[in-house]
Structure 1
Amino acid sequence: MAGVRTAWHVIDDGEFFCAECGGDRCYRRLAGRRRLTVLGLPVLPRGAAEPVVECSGCRRHLPPSVLEEPTTTRLAGLLRDAVHAVALGVLAAGGGDPNAARRAAVEAVRAAGFPECTEERLLTLQAALSRHRPPALDHELRETIGALTGHLRSPGRERLLLLGARVALADGPYRAAERALLRTVGEALRLPPTDTERLLTAAAAARA
């Protein structure tokens, strides 16, 4: 006979990752007001309802915090940017046979989702990076990796560090600048220093 109903209205809409559906979906962000109803008719207001996010797929109402998670498309973009930054950073810090390192970097960047990447493109970007002071390079690297780190579990963070290690080792043992750069990558990935050193040592041993 009596109950409380919520009248919803749309605040905005967009695309998000729905954990209930397991993929990217459109959403509507809703705000509402509760009303006491008798025989289905609104009688008295009962205040504002907490905003919710409604998934267009499953129609579930979810907390607004779900919009803080990146879509799979956005996450793939963050990963591509991070791989690109690590590969370029290692190249800028390296020495030895630049051809071997560049080939390894190109393979890594292409596998991460940049199929159009070429050695010429990396050479151009590497030359531009080399004109910057090291602190500026470290800051840019930390920013790019930091945007991804919170969305990666430990195995994913380790794989990104090992990718950089493989590029560094492609032209021989680590040089001091390469190892320092990879330690910066480990810090940006929030890996404990002991884990970073363990992974770098394991990568070198596997390469030997």
Structure 2
Amino acid sequence: MTCSLGVPLIVIGSMNLTRTLARGDFSCPHCGRLQAYRLRARRPFLTVYLIPMIPLGDRERFVQCQQCRNRFDPAVLERDSPSTSRLTASNSSAAEAFEQQWLRAALLVVIEHGQMTEPEIAALQRIGTQLAHRPVEREELGQLCSSAYQNRISAKHYVQSVAHLWSDEQKQTVMQACFLAASIDGDLQPPQMELLQTLKQEMQLTDEEFQQAIEAAVELE
């Protein structure tokens, strides 16, 4: 292909390459039974003439049930393992991992209805700062948002994947973040209220624990 001046045009673009890393059986949270799964990795590449040349980011892994086709975080594969340990704040890496998890859960609540708006980005940054006690940069949110859109894991399925890692106190933090995210636009609408109830059930919170989390979140506003 050449331009009007006879100079060859270099066609540059991007594409996502997804490959299967492993196969096996797991207890699918959606199906409620043992199902076959594929552990897959997606990575964006810069392309030249449609040929992938340069990776543009890290690999994003997800688990896909072969029956219902829903996607889950890879942590779902450890959900039924008796040796799985909960995340604690006893070391910085565990604390950082948990921060990423509740922030991702909150972000997924926001994009449940579609694309994220500028006011929602600003609100998520504020929520992150309130709960993490540190500034949450747009770049961090952008990376999480890109991963969420590409991997297409819903808020419900994400919580199903990782809730087994959380202590009771951490579950309340996650619920606070999700409540604040659901109420970004003002009053909670029926879809947001239903989603919060679903997340409450997935985290096995009692009515009292749920109410305590909501009250703590309201105090932050």
Q: Which TM class, normalised by the smaller chain length?
A: 0.3 to 0.5
Higher-helix-fraction structure = 1
Q: Which has the larger radius of gyration?
A: 1
